[in-house]
Amino acid sequence: MGRKITGCLAAVCVLWACAATGFRGQLTVLPKAYVVAEIDVKDPGRYRKYAKAAFPIIQRYGGRFLTRGGTTVAVEGKPPTQRVMIIEFASLERARAFEHSREYSAIAPLRQASATSRLYIVEGTNDPAANRP
């Protein structure tokens, strides 16, 4: 019994040592991606129908709102439109899957008919050097 416990402890120590010495760096973690939408609502009633239909689809693809039309302060250049939304997804592939899904494509005309929009997807970074000057 003592040998089994010692063997398990040794295995745990080896795994911990690998992780501490950079073994973690061997794992590939995809960077997150962000759907950015600039929206100028023209027909609020119709737009609410779109938003109500879009929300469960966004959730189904793992999307999470980071901004949802709060106060926007123009600092330089042309100011953004009326509403700016940023939705985070686990990866570029998940964001694309959402944007090009059959479910979302079916309701996009509601947004297009009720608002002027500009949408794009931005891939995040996993590069630690990106957080330094």
Q: 123 pLDDT exceeds 70?
A: yes
Which tokens is 115 given? 């608002």
Nearest by Cα to 92 from 67, 59, 128, 62:
62
| Three-state DSSP class for residue 99 | helix
Q: Where are the domains of the chain?
A: 1-27, 33-125
pLDDT at 129: 73
pLDDT at 16: 47
Q: Name the helix (H) or strand (E) containing 94.
A: helix 92-99
Q: How confident is the model at residue 4 (pLDDT cuts 50, 70, 90)?
A: low
For the segment(s) 33-125, the CATH number from 3.40.120.10, 3.30.70.100, 3.30.420.60, 1.10.260.40 is 3.30.70.100
Taking only the tens place, the pLDDT of each residue in 69-114 is 888 888 998 888 789 999 999 999 999 999 999 999 999 999 999 9
Q: How confident is the model at residue 1 (pLDDT cuts 50, 70, 90)?
A: low
Q: 29 pLDDT exceeds 70?
A: yes
Which tokens is 128 given? 């630690």
Q: 52 pLDDT exceeds 90?
A: yes
Q: 27 pLDDT exceeds 50?
A: yes
